[in-house]
Structure 1
């Protein structure tokens, strides 16, 4: 038990130490691409991605897409995507460029644009009244000012609220506040991951919080244009998490496959991909 707690403390400290926001440097001007790529044509995905570290750049290793048409939008500009993505915290890898490659390789989209704003270690309350909330609102305002309409919104969060023992009612209330903020300017489907696993939750079976899971699942069932994303509580073995919390390369590939399946499931039900 003591070894596990020390490990979790070190992992948490490491995550916070590497939670700086990724922003472009002067050298990144070579990655700038034409904003015309944001034009909606039925084959372009424009996705806002947010939540905590597993939606940010805290995966094991950086990844560069092999498709040139995977892009990273940040503060009004568009860049060729590669990890770590601009706009999210962490200095390692993320699931999103991998997903972009999969979507293009499958012929679902010809261009994929990610708008990453996830913050490592953030609890859901941060996205309703904290600094994360301000970040979300500023991003939505910028998109509105540039007349950019999202096609998808991807949420992955729950690990911190597992540790905080957030109630089902409170988690759902805060999800409703986030959805209300989104709907002021954007109508894209919100995909909510089923995510709660944290190895520090030693009093809960396998570190999974069924209260958080139930909150996420019932919110999906009770709201229109809210769909289920990946269930990452199924990816909790050592092969999936390089430090017990964050995804390994193997885990990020599995995570991306689950996102792909969630997106494809919508079209298999006779609904347009957007």
Structure 2
């Protein structure tokens, strides 16, 4: 029995090494997410940690006016730093943490993960499309969190704290950009309470005086097929709830070229499409 397990483990290692070679060669990106999935199968996953490291960043004093976009981002790993890293911001795009603004650089501040995020690219494209002249993001995404996690402590408290700091320093927040759903797929933790749990989130924010547009991604794919029922629920939320508006539908990004080998997180090309979707959504609402 032990010998059989050792053989299976050895074969698994060989498969992982092979996939790492493919990923590194094709994407120019070391597939940490693939290794995390392998580790999760054989050992408990460590707790995700937010990135608070500002040691290589220089604080910037920003002049904010009506042409500046100010956004909170929230959700699970595809709202955080778990995709392909390597994109470098070209315009006046900033990240905000603990009352200070810094040039946007991945892995972004405030979110989990050590890799790339979509938001720097979103900021650049909002500027290039004349939606804003500069953009500030306060990132709050946390990998692997269900919708019922995100409507309570400590995750919601962190979001509220950052909203209050942005409002104190800049006088407004334009929107919350929300991307979550993959872990609530019907084949994972389930979607039966998704509508109710999202409603709790919205009402909790309103109770704190936070009444700003929430742009909701339609998303369910993470090494799974699309969950049509969850997408239907997310569309109903957008239809029913007064401050919720349509964000991207990333379940449309089915092709392998848009994802890393884990078939969950986004490649550089996937981020190009994902960010285009965000710009289209925000351009309609601003």
TM-score higher than 0.5: yes
- Cα deviation per residue 1:48-88 (whole Å; 9 max; x = unaligned)? 00101111011111322111x10101111111111111000
Name the CA distance, whole Å, in 2 between partners of 1:175 and 1:130: 15
* Match in the other structure for 1:236: 254
Q: 1:98 aligns with which of 121, 130, 138?
A: 121
Residue 219 of structure 1: how far off its partner (Å): 0.6
Residue 264 of structure 1: how far off its partner (Å): 2.0
* Match in the other structure for 2:49: 20
Residue 13 of structure 1: how far off its partner (Å): 5.5
Asked if structure 2 preserves the Cα contact closer than 8 Å seen for 1:96 and 1:256, the reply is: yes
* Match in the other structure for 1:204: none
Asked if structure 1 preserves the Cα contact closer than 8 Å seen for 2:163 and 2:173, the reply is: no
* Match in the other structure for 1:250: 269
Residue 164 of structure 1: how far off its partner (Å): 3.1
Provide the secondary structure at the position in 1 that maps to 2:138: strand
Asked if structure 2 preserves the Cα contact closer than 8 Å seen for 1:72 and 1:85, the reply is: yes
Provide the secondary structure at the position in 1 that maps to 2:113: coil
Query: Within 5 A, what are the aligned runs for 1:33-72?
Result: 33-34=60-61, 36-37=62-63, 39=64, 41-67=65-91, 69-72=92-95
Asked if structure 1 preserves the Cα contact closer than 8 Å seen for 2:222 and 2:265, the reply is: no
Name the CA distance, whole Å, in 2 between partners of 1:151 and 1:109: 11
Provide closer, same or farther for how the CA distance between residues 85 and 198 of structure 1 changes in structure 2, counting only shifts above 3 A.
same
Provide the secondary structure at the position in 2 that maps to 1:153: strand
Provide the secondary structure at the position in 1 that maps to 2:144: coil
* Match in the other structure for 2:148: 125
Provide the secondary structure at the position in 2 that maps to 1:66: coil
Name the CA distance, whole Å, in 2 between partners of 1:18 and 1:96: 23
Asked if structure 2 preserves the Cα contact closer than 8 Å seen for 1:62 and 1:94, the reply is: no
Residue 211 of structure 1: how far off its partner (Å): 2.2
Query: Within 5 A, what are the aligned runs for 1:168-247?
Result: 168=192, 170-183=193-206, 184-199=208-223, 201=224, 207-243=225-261, 244-247=263-266
Provide closer, same or farther for how the CA distance between residues 145 and 107 of structure 1 changes in structure 2, counting only shifts above 3 A.
closer
Name the CA distance, whole Å, in 2 between partners of 1:247 and 1:91: 14
Q: 1:143 aligns with which of 166, 180, 201?
A: 166
Name the CA distance, whole Å, in 1 between partners of 2:156 and 2:126: 29
CA RMSD, 1 decimal: 2.4
* Structure with bigger gyration radius: 2
Residue 108 of structure 1: how far off its partner (Å): 1.3
Gaps of 5+ in 2: 1-11, 17-32
* Match in the other structure for 1:86: 109
Name the CA distance, whole Å, in 2 between partners of 1:147 and 1:181: 23
Asked if structure 2 preserves the Cα contact closer than 8 Å seen for 1:152 and 1:191, the reply is: yes
Provide closer, same or farther for how the CA distance between residues 234 and 50 of structure 1 changes in structure 2, counting only shifts above 3 A.
same
Name the CA distance, whole Å, in 1 between partners of 2:214 and 2:83: 23
Residue 152 of structure 1: how far off its partner (Å): 1.5
